[in-house]
Amino acid sequence: RTVAFMPSEQEHRAMWTLLESVPVPVFSINTKGQIKLLNPATRHLFELDENDKNEKSFNQLIPNFNIHRWLEQKDIHEHPKLIVNDNSGFEQVIAVSTPMKQLVERAKKMAKMDDPLLLVGDTGTGKDLFAKACHLLSPRAREPFLGLNCASMPDDVVESELFGYAAGAYPNAIEGKKGFFEQANRGTVLLDEIGEMSPQMQIKLLRFLNDGTFRRVGEEHEVKVDVRIICATQKNLWELVQKGLFREDLYYRLNVLTLTLPPLRERKADIMPLALHFINQYCLEQKASKPVISPDLSAYLVQYGWPGNVRQLRNTIYQAMAQLVGNTLRPQDIALPEHTADTLFDEDLLEGSLD
């Protein structure tokens, strides 16, 4: 029978489609260090023109690393290499308003310390962005940064992810696995939604914070690591302590350095700069031309309460740009659910069925 592709060609096309679709930069080199294949994410990372067909070498993209010596090793191990030019993630934080400027300055000072850092703020305020920025400005910048959402997994999964497990600890655990704390040794671990962590896991975390030691699941001997902990929450931890839902001793252990991220409605001077940033970001990603901004767009965006904060603003701008007809972005192109500036975000709205 007639087939569209030979098996090897079909496999090649499928593999290349996969590489083109993943957001992670991937490229291949030959033994001479010449780059033979690279996916679009790699071109975006290194700002390479897609029409540039000239062959590149590894050292053109990542200088100051002897790739030939690395390839000649008998046992090749992974070698982390920081390739960003600006090691400060705070460059990505748009701070025009006074509250945000003051917050960034405080964050830069706290970033260089080793004590636990607590980030408090509503959903979508950028707690993960601040956590990564603090890591990149710290002496641990060249070491791993790993994050775990404590609200999304049951206790046994959280425990194995953080502390790892020994071979045979679980029915299908043929080999042992290092947890986040071991993988991020000398680096930083972000514990997102720490207020959702169960009382049992709170006890284990408190023990780890006291001396940096822990036991893998299914093992007796202790492991000691050097990790900075950053915690993020949108809940009031002290209220949880008073309700008996969060350990008081853990609260005091975590509440050493605290940054409270203001909601977008309290930093209105940042709304339009953020919107313009997201417009430029969309145009860069989609290779689209920048639209003309309607004069009344700023007033329209500023008057809204933004219950989903910066994340909602970003998604709203992207949706408007994707559906834009013409080359002018106007208020009528922005789809906003009904919400007044005085209305606070009510978590009770999230309860119930999807209907």
281: its two tokens? 């970001």
**pLDDT band for position 8 (50/70/90)?**
confident
Mean pLDDT value across residues 303-307: 93
Specify the higher pLDDT residue, 225 or 287: 225
Residues 298, 301: Cα–Cα separation, whole Å? 5
SS3 of 189, please? strand
Residues 257, 255: Cα–Cα separation, whole Å? 6
Residues 104, 4: Cα–Cα separation, whole Å? 57
**Segment among 115-124, 236-245, 303-312, 340-349 with least mean pLDDT:** 340-349
**Segment among 84-98, 171-185, 333-347 with least mean pLDDT:** 333-347
Q: How many CB atoms lie within 10 A of CB 197?
A: 22
pLDDT at 132: 93
pLDDT at 342: 47
pTM over 0.85: no
The per-residue DSSP string of 11-73 comes to HHHHHHHHHHH-SS--EEE-TTSBEEEE-HHHHHHTT--TT--S--BHHHHS-S--HHHHHT-
pLDDT at 341: 43
The strand ranges marked E within the chain are: 27-29, 35-38, 117-121, 145-149, 164-165, 177-178, 188-192, 213-214, 223-224, 228-233, 257-261, 292-293, 328-329
pLDDT at 169: 80
**40-49, 170-179, 199-208: which is most confident:** 199-208
pLDDT digits 0-9 by tens, 11-69: 888 888 888 877 788 899 988 888 888 888 888 777 787 777 788 888 888 776 777 77
Specify the higher pLDDT residue, 35 or 169: 35
Q: How many helices (H) and strands (E) does the chain have?
A: 14, 13
Mean pLDDT value across residues 101-124: 94
- For 316, phi then psi, to 5°, come to -65, -45
Residue that is written with structure tokens 């993209």 in the block:
61
pLDDT at 335: 86
